[in-house]
Amino acid sequence: MVIDVKCIFCTRGKNEAGLLLSGLEGHICAYCIEQAYKMIHEEDSQTKKYGIFHHTKSPKELKSFIDRYVIGQEEAKKVLSVAVHNHYKRLSASLEIDKSNILLLGETGTGKTLLGWSISRFLNVPFTIVDATILTEAGYVGEDVESILTRLLLAADYDVAKAEKGIVFIDEIDKISRKSDHPSITRDVSGEGVQQALLKIIEGSVVNVPPEGGRKHPDKKMISIDTHNILFIAGGAFNGLENIIKKRLNNRFSSIGYKNCIQPQYCHSHTTDYLQYTTPADLRYFGLIPELIGRLPIITHLNSLDVNALYRIMIEPKNALIKQYKKLFAMDDVHLKVTDKAIRKIVEKTLITGLGARGLRNMCEKIFNDFLFYIKNFQGILEIDENIIDNKFKKYFQK
């Protein structure tokens, strides 16, 4: 008995199709193999041409994803979503478009780093964070600016092509501001010197970096990385910048009749509210060099977090702290319940520290650590109310 063998895709028989390759579930003819190859090749070409932008539908879609992790900061999220979308869109443009590097201004714990992390997660690109305070000029104790790219390369599993489309978050950028406008006999190796060294990398160039990090050495094998398509996000608290802005606004409006106060709508504004009026001139006066400011064209600010914002951060994000602790307790068969009043107590105590969202984790550790240590003593439901919070915080806060 002759078995009628056919291609499982086009149903051509052996006589019509010629060569048939057999597999576990059936056969495929040479024609269908060729067509499949063409389709895969075309899709691969589209991916290479459009890169990450091919998978990014709109800034609104990006913002919706960020909303799952970052509470509030609506203006900053919109600005970043558009800037990031445009940055990766430029990779597929025949016309050369300038990079959309970003500068974030905001107090500690307002979500600057989290914004960068959530963007990289959505785009599925390598992401690294570097503290600007550890950077120094080449030849001095500390890390060269090229170490930034070594970290990005590590985050990309040493895939250079991936690293060249990654995101670098430079934290504490305000800490490398120029110490003074006046000439100094001592070299500012961790201030203006670092700013100068960052220019080439941020603007876009081919940089040779040692794969394992550390200082460059003539005998070391180097890896070349093109930084033209790397997105750089710089962030900092910029403490004192608000005073520069206030002074500028005061000088501006006092000249047209307002005295002892800037224009009415600016009066009684919170410290971080002034950051929305930041100009490149303010940043230059603060201590950033004009060349660096010019390479960070997108400037936006993050508002300080009030009680309501911190409360939402505790319970709403996908990775909210309360959800994390509930999961930890559930893994030991304990159902954790934290009352609404207890959460608000935690938030109120955190607000006193001035650490923003970062302070929430510290406060939660103080509360839950003992319960986790003795977790085997608990069964069923463990309820944390405001009285437990008050007792826990007696030794940390004076009434």
Check if the beta carbon of residue 71 is closer than 8 Å to that of residue 317: yes
Q: Three-class SS of residue 36? A: helix
The response to whether 364 counts as a known ligand-binding position is no
User: Going by C-beta distance under 8 Å and a sequence separation of 6 or more, which residues neighbour residue 43?
Assistant: none
Token reading at 229: 């398509």
For residues 178 and 245, what is the distance between their CA atoms, to the nearest angstrom? 18
Nearest partner of 146 among 205, 61, 188, judged by Cα = 205
The response to whether 267 counts as a known ligand-binding position is no
Token reading at 271: 């410290």
Check if the beta carbon of residue 163 is closer than 8 Å to that of residue 207: no
Nearest partner of 286 among 193, 184, 178, judged by Cα = 178
Token reading at 181: 């406008």
Taken in order 132, 137, 139, 141, is the CA torsion positive or negative? negative
Token reading at 398: 């004076």
The response to whether 261 counts as a known ligand-binding position is no
The response to whether 7 counts as a known ligand-binding position is yes
Residue found under tokens 């997108």: 298
- Sequence length of the chain is 399
Q: What are phi and psi of 378, to 5 degrees?
A: -105, 145
Token reading at 7: 């291609």
| Burial class of residue 391, CB neighbours in 10 A (0-12, 13-18, 19+) | exposed
Residue 103 host element (H or E): strand 102-105
Check if the beta carbon of residue 113 is closer than 8 Å to that of residue 237: no
Q: DSSP states of 109-137 as a string? A: TSSHHHHHHHHHHHHT--EEEEEGGGB--
- Torsion angle of alpha carbons 260, 266, 272, 273, nearest 10°? 180
Residues at the annotated binding site? 7, 10, 29, 32
Residues at the annotated binding site for Zn(2+)? 7, 10, 29, 32
